[in-house]
Structure 1
């Protein structure tokens, strides 16, 4: 016999998980709506299963509650999603943030991490002082040293924060996109250094690349974090090849080429290289996908139809 309390749709299941978080942390709907920047009527409809939470809303809910988007959508972090699941050191980085406290308020560690992440991204790892982070986080230098004993640990934590931001956003955005071509184009859009958040993520990545080149101790987390992004691209290309949308037998080579192209173009944009920009970056990446990734019939049809 079917349990009448069981969720009938994916929207019901997500709504039930969010309702449980509100109950767990003592939120009222009004306070929670304000905290995640959502109209109270829309929140009410979503909690009742009559409206799907938008991707950006799920990301904000995960941030406020300290959960992950994967848990909100599927009930666990290891669920099969349309983006690769982090492994190794990056898996711990994508776990719920221990710096968040019940009720959606930031704990001291969470405030320090948010402040440090922004300062490092905007001003550079070697130019940020402990006093700067303490001032931005509204705490003391002693508290910084308590949670992050060394500067190296602070940068590692900033990278972990980057991993979680990217993972949550990609899971939320790609969850409902079944078409591999559309999903690959969306993955590219999610990686463009466009807007303050993405430019900060890119800034952190570039700094970690530079530090990893001279500090072997930092490489494992970087490798694992980058591997998740690479596998997301590779699994999308493999899905497209299986569906006959992308060329077959070249998944690894195409993933290598596409990720390298994204990296190189992204660095040019961040460095404000003449002629570089997010629009040009998108156009060049789409051109590569059209010429090298799409199956020949799809390319021919696109050419004939303009």
Structure 2
């Protein structure tokens, strides 16, 4: 069985464990039912965004869907266990609904402006139900960060695993960090708030460090692979990783906070220039 067939089989396993119909599953992952059927029978391949959503709905990782294991060595560093969401309860649909709602509200309004009652209103449930899954409001922020880490990991594995050219893979990895409208901008908002809270609350720093380490490890392993292939310079991968990550962070914050003249396109140009000047050989 080749990797595409194996992925298709694992999607079938996720579907078998889904409480609703195949049509309902297609609707939840945002895929036309006919396209889902074609993907399951092999006449169509799942797209990266579809695998990411399947992993989300099925409470699995894209790494498992593609490589058969959450811990498989792949193009993106595997998050530390502490940086991943806990195993959801048996009624995972409600848990995921609450977490998604809290994640979006915190990203859009700010952590300190979101009340448990706000999350309950969005989910059409009671504050007591929210407290059942997340005892305190701080737990919502903690799990929102873990949710973002899993999202980033899933997206990177789905997008990067088929890119053999390591130079192009690094550029695609950079692209996946731009705070473009939609999920990426919301993830950036979560990170900005976690940075702020971690500076004020030492108890968050271990989770923050474990989460951020995964991102830097992904850059470092990509650069190291390019060096082994003779595509990238021999500069210490750790040094290049620190510089590139710092540049992404600084530019992203300027874009997100609306500094005049700081646009997505300008951020992209600056990052590409750094990669070509400092990382690519010759």
TM range (shorter): over 0.9
Q: 1:260 aligns with which of 246, 267, 280?
A: 246
> Among residues 80, 85, 109, which one is paired with 1:87 in the alignment?
80
Q: Deviations over 1:85-105 (max 9, x none)?
A: 112411x33x6x516847xxx
Number of aligned residue pairs: 282
Aligned pair partner of 1:18 in 11, 15, 18: 11
Which runs of 5 or more structure 2 residues have no equivalent in the other structure?
A: none
Work out the CA distance in 1 between the residues paired with 2:90 and 2:180. 27
After TM superposition, the runs of 4+ consecutive aligned structure 1 residues lying more than 6 A away are none
Cα distance in 2 for partners of 1:81, 1:152 equals 32
Whether contact under 8 Å (1:12, 1:48) holds in the other structure is no
Structure 2 counterpart of 1:98? 88
What secondary structure does 1:85 align onto? coil
- Is the contact between residue 244 and residue 295 of structure 1 (CA under 8 Å) also seen in structure 2? yes
| Cα displacement (A) at 1:30 | 3.0
Counterpart contact for 2:62–2:154, Cα < 8 Å: yes
* Structure 1 pair 99–56 and aligned structure 2 pair: CA distance change class (3 A): farther
Matched, 1:188 2:178: no
- C-alpha displacement at 1:27, in angstroms? 5.0
CA distance in 1, matches of 2:148, 2:115: 20
Partner of 1:301: none
Structure 1: runs of 5 or more not aligned: 1-6, 297-306
* Contact 2:18–2:25 (8 Å) recurs in 1: no
Q: Which structure has the larger Rg?
A: 1
Root-mean-square deviation (CA, aligned residues, Å) is 1.6
Shift of 1:294: 0.5
Q: Are the structure 2 counterparts of residues 35 and 115 from structure 1 closer, same or farther at C-alpha, using a change threshold of 3 Å?
A: closer
Residue of structure 1 in register with 2:189 after alignment: 203
1:250 equivalent among 225, 232, 236: 236
| SS of the residue 1:178 aligns to | coil
Residue 34 of structure 2: aligned partner: 41
Alignment of 1:1-306 (within 5 A): 7=1, 9-25=2-18, 28-90=21-83, 92-93=84-85, 98=88, 101=91, 106-107=93-94, 109-296=95-282
TM-score normalised by L of structure 1: 0.88
Shift in Å at residue 258 of structure 1? 0.1
Separation of aligned partners in 2, 1:215 and 1:222 = 11
Alpha-carbon distance in 2 for matches of 1:275, 1:60: 34
Distance 1:267 1:121, change over 3 A: same
Residue 280 to residue 99, structure 1, CA distance change in 2 (3 Å): farther
